[in-house]
Amino acid sequence: MLAQQILNGLVSGSVYALFSLGFTLIFGVQKLLNFAHGATFMAGAFIAYYCTINGLPFFMAIGFSMLATGLIAILIDLIAFRTLRKRGNAEFPALVSSIGVDLILVSIAQQVSNTQVLNFPFGTFPIQFYNILGLRISLLQIVILVVVAVLVAALIFYLKKTTFGRQVRAVATNERAAALLGVNAQSVYLQTFFIAGALAGLAGVLIGLLFNSIQFLMGEPYMLRAFVVVVIGGLGSVQGAIVASLLLGVAQSLTVAYLPSGLTDAIIFGLLFLVLLVRPNGLFGDINAVAGGTRQ
């Protein structure tokens, strides 16, 4: 029973990681909190759902959803962040602006869905279960774990080993110095927003499949948990976001299994307070470290 709950927690935590990585990436590069990230997550699930029910093959619907949410994230940057970024000291105005964009996207989804809970059609994804070492695991859970592992590895490689990654680290460290070296900061911002949006959209689709439930407020609790993840892991730390997401997923699964369900949020935020008491900068945080996924 314990091992089964840990497995379930790792599956949930891997999706949290996919969602939180985009949130972390944007903060690491721009030092701004994008609270419209939850709405992007929700939009991914909605887009994949409507593509599927209108006859598009499911895996094509996922690809279209990731592309669309990446473009939505770029639009959020252009609307909510770019102008404020040029003025400097934009942290609080950008926070308020992103909340406004979040409310707009949620309102659109509410009208489109008529406030109903949506479900992917039966058979959208094969329902198969396997018994492995005494654990019951579904094909969907296996796919989620593999997909998230591949994407996380690809993102880390992209940030650490490619020219784009070097540009991201340069802009995250010092935008003006990066500009003197010929780095186009605006291009970096657009690319990081696209990656963050695409990852959030995929996470929304996976959650919609995992729980077979899609609704216009589905991104809000995940946005709150993502904030807990990035604080526990260390603001701007990709490695910290991954570890904290898995810890949060396991803690949530064990709490639901062994404690009253009403204590779930209390346990999660208690864990947050405990970590902050011991390590105020998070598990992988370092006040002198470079953000944007470059912390060692």
- Name the nearest CA neighbour of 236 among 61, 28, 42: 28
Q: Which residue has the higher pLDDT, 42 or 273?
A: 42
Q: What is the pLDDT of residues 193-232, one digit of tens each?
A: 999 999 999 999 999 998 889 999 999 888 888 888 888 8
Q: What is the pLDDT of residues 29-55, one digit of tens each?
A: 888 888 899 999 999 999 999 999 999
- 6, burial (CB in 10 Å: exposed 0-12, middle 13-18, buried 19+): middle
Lowest mean pLDDT among 2-16, 98-112, 277-291: 277-291
User: Where do the domains of the chain lie?
Assistant: 13-217
Query: What pLDDT, on the 0 to 100 scale, is given for residue 88?
Result: 67
DSSP assignments along 123-153, one per residue? TSS---EEEETTEEEEHHHHHHHHHHHHHHH
Q: Which residue has the higher pLDDT, 72 or 94?
A: 72
Q: How far apart are the first and last CA of the chain?
A: 36
pLDDT exceeds cutoff 80 at 85:
no
Query: What pLDDT, on the 0 to 100 scale, is given for residue 64?
Result: 96
> With contact defined as beta carbons under 8 Å apart, do 119 and 189 qualify?
no
Cα three-residue angle 257-258-264, rounded to 5 degrees: 75
Cα radius of gyration (the chain):
19
Query: What pLDDT, on the 0 to 100 scale, is given for residue 287?
Result: 45
Query: What pLDDT, on the 0 to 100 scale, is given for residue 10?
Result: 92
> With contact defined as beta carbons under 8 Å apart, do 169 and 290 qualify?
yes
Q: What is the pLDDT of residues 160-204, one digit of tens each?
A: 888 888 888 888 888 888 888 888 888 889 999 999 999 999 999
